[in-house]
Amino acid sequence: MQSLFNWPQSPGEVEPGALVEVLGVPGDAGNSASSGSRYGPDAIRRASGNVARPLLSGFDHGDIAEVCGFDWMDVLNRTCKSVEAIARKGSTSILLGGDHSISWAGVKGVECLGPVTLIWIDAHTDFCAWQETEWHNHKQVLRRIAALDHVQEILHIGHRGVTYADESAYTEKMRLFSPHDIQKSGAKPVLEAINHDSAIYISLDIDGVDPRWAPGTGHPVPGGLQPDGLAEVLRALGNTQRVAALDVMEVNPMLDPENRTSDVAASLIADFLHGVAEA
- The CA-CA-CA angle for residues 130, 255, 107, to 5°, reads 35
Residue 184 in contact with another protein, rule: CB under 8 A:
no
33 binds another protein (CB under 8 A): yes
Separation CA 19–CA 57 (nearest Å): 6
Distance of CA 243 to the CA centre of its chain: 12
Can you tell me the distance from the alpha carbon of 101 to that of 205, in angstroms, rounded to the nearest whole number?
10
Given 19, 51, 236, 255, the residue binding another protein (CB under 8 A): 255
Q: Are strands 20-25 and 92-97 parallel, antiparallel or unpaired?
A: parallel
Number of chain positions touching another protein (CB under 8 A): 25
Interface with another protein (CB under 8 A), residue from 149, 166, 172, 192: 166
Distance of alpha carbon 64 from alpha carbon 54, whole angstroms:
24
Cis (ω within 30 of 0) for the bond into 27? no
Minimum CB distance to another protein, residue 159 (Å):
6
Choice from 131, 149, 164, 172 touching another protein (CB under 8 A): 164
CA distance 68 to 128: 25
Q: Please pick, from the candidates 152, 178, 226, 240, the single residue that binds another protein as defined by CB under 8 A.
A: 178
Bridge partners (DSSP) of residue 204 are 121, 248
Burial status of residue 14 (CB atoms within 10 A of its CB: 0-12, 13-18, 19 or more): middle
Residue 257 within binding range of another protein, rule CB under 8 A:
yes
Q: Which is nearer to another protein, 57 or 178 (CB)?
A: 178
The span from the CA of 205 to the CA of 158, in Å, is 10
Choices 54-62, 79-87, 103-111, 208-216; region in contact with another protein by CB under 8 A: 208-216
Separation between Cα atoms, residue 7 and residue 20, nearest integer Å: 10
> Are the CB atoms for 18 and 59 separated by under 8 Å?
yes
Considering the complex, what minimum distance in angstroms separates the CB of residue 277 from another protein? 31
Looking at 5-13, 107-115, 161-169, 186-194, which segment touches another protein (CB under 8 A)?
161-169
159 in contact with another protein (CB under 8 A):
yes
Instruction: Map residues 213-252 to x or -, x wherever contact with another protein holds by CB under 8 A.
Output: --x--xxxxxx-----------------------------
- What's the min distance (Å) between Cβ of 262 and another protein? 15
* Residue among 106 and 220 whose Cβ is closer to another protein: 220
- Residue 131 burial (CB < 10 Å; 0-12/13-18/19+)? exposed
For residue 217, the minimal CB distance to another protein (Å) is 8
The region of 15-23, 78-86, 145-153, 166-174 touching another protein under the rule CB under 8 A is: 166-174
Query: Does 211 help bind another protein (rule: CB under 8 A)?
Result: yes
Residues lying near another protein in the complex (CB under 8 A) are found at 33-34, 159-168, 178, 180, 211-212, 215, 218-223, 255, 257
